[in-house]
């Protein structure tokens, strides 16, 4: 208590000045409409700025949750899209494919090697298995190669061992999608016959000859093409829709009938050899 009294005595002149200043400002604001307007405008600006800052901070921390909701909604829409028309045929055809879609994220990506791989945050506990297709919202990404409990490695389309069935959109002209390791933005479509009409800018999509990807998943557009006269087939450079240097959200395509399809194909080949 004594310290408080000593403080008041020591700074009595300064404290008196502050008190009189506050009183004079209050009287000035109350008696002059101009001052009153400025005071409240300044107060509103400060309050508004604080509210806006608070809102921005809250929105930032809510962004991840909103993004997850969008990814989940996107997953459901894609699953419905890949199965358009299938529901009507399932009752009549027990071999009809009913694709499922699982969302995930990229945690490691490579694109500058001859054999590039991508690590994703989904694994065996999420029912992820080898040879499942992986895409983004823009197009094809690669195929699951190895899995652990929580993670999986994806053989990127930017891999010299990659070979995916692809076709020219709105046609039945299909070939093999490969990569010549000469650029991370371009892959090659081969085995397209010379009699097929081609136009730069045509869209390339996945073909129907794959048990991994649904038909018509976007891949890219024709950048240029050259004819191998000795084989009468085109080699087509395809500019990818995906920016392979900037990947985050992905979708794994599950074909529940793939095992049965492969077993049937194997049996057919075995019987043909006898």
Which is more confident, 5 or 189?
189
pLDDT at 94: 38
Does a structural domain hold residue 249? Answer: yes
- Highest mean pLDDT, choosing among 67-81, 88-102, 214-228: 214-228
Does a structural domain hold residue 61? Answer: no
Which domain, by its residues, includes 223? 99-256
For residue 221, give Cα distances in angstroms to 55, 131, 234, 237: 42, 25, 15, 8
Which is more confident, 10 or 49?
10
Q: How confident is the model at residue 220 (pLDDT cuts 50, 70, 90)?
A: very high
Which is more confident, 72 or 50?
72
C-alpha 9/C-alpha 144 separation (Å) is: 80
Does a structural domain hold residue 5? Answer: no
Statement: residue 17 has pLDDT above 60:
yes
Average pLDDT, the chain: 80
Q: How many residues does the chain have?
A: 274
The distance of Cα 92 from the centroid of its chain, to the nearest Å, equals 35
- How many domains, in total, are found in the chain? 1
Q: How confident is the model at residue 71 (pLDDT cuts 50, 70, 90)?
A: low
**CATH number of the domain that residue 190 is part of:** 2.40.10.340
Instruction: Please compute the mean of the pLDDT values over residues 221-239 and round it to a whole number.
Output: 92
Which is more confident, 83 or 123?
123
Q: How confident is the model at residue 66 (pLDDT cuts 50, 70, 90)?
A: low
Does a structural domain hold residue 18? Answer: no
174 three-class SS: strand
Instruction: Please compute the mean of the pLDDT values over residues 263-274 and round it to a whole number.
Output: 71
Helices 2-10 and 12-31 cross at an angle (nearest 10°) of: 70
121-151 tens-digit pLDDT: 999 999 999 999 999 989 999 999 999 999 9
Does a structural domain hold residue 81? Answer: no
Which is more confident, 54 or 136?
136
Does a structural domain hold residue 156? Answer: yes
Does a structural domain hold residue 60? Answer: no
> How buried is residue 211: exposed, middle or buried, by Cβ count under 10 Å (0-12/13-18/19+)?
middle
For residue 155, give Cα distances in angstroms to 172, 203, 208, 255: 26, 23, 20, 18
Does a structural domain hold residue 114? Answer: yes
């Amino acid at each position: 208590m004594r310290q408080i009294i000593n403080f008041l005595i020591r700074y009595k002149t300064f404290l008196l000045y502050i008190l009189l200043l506050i009183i004079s400002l209050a009287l000035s604001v109350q008696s002059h409409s101009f001052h009153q307007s400025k005071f409240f405008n300044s107060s509103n600006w400060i309050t508004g700025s604080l509210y806006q800052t608070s809102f921005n901070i809250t929105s930032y921390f809510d962004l991840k949750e909103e993004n997850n909701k969008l990814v989940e909604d996107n997953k459901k829409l894609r699953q419905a899209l890949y199965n358009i028309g299938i529901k009507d045929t399932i009752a009549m055809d027990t071999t009809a494919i009913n694709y499922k879609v699982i969302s995930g994220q990229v945690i490691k990506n490579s694109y500058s090697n001859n054999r590039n791989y991508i690590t994703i945050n989904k694994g065996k506990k999420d029912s992820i298995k080898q040879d499942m297709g992986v895409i983004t919202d823009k197009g094809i990404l690669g195929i699951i190669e190895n899995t652990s409990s929580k993670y999986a490695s994806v053989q990127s389309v930017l891999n010299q061992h990659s070979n995916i069935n692809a076709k020219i959109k709105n046609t039945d002209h299909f070939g093999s999608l490969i990569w010549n390791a000469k650029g991370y933005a371009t892959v090659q479509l081969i085995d397209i016959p010379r009699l097929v009409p081609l136009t730069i800018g045509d869209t390339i999509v996945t073909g129907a000859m794959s048990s991994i990807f649904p038909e018509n998943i976007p891949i890219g557009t024709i950048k240029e093409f050259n004819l191998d006269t000795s084989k009468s087939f085109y080699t087509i450079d395809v500019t990818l829709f995906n920016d392979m240097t900037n990947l985050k959200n992905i979708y794994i395509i599950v074909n529940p009938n793939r095992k049965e399809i492969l077993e049937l194909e194997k049996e057919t080949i075995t019987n043909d050899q006898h």
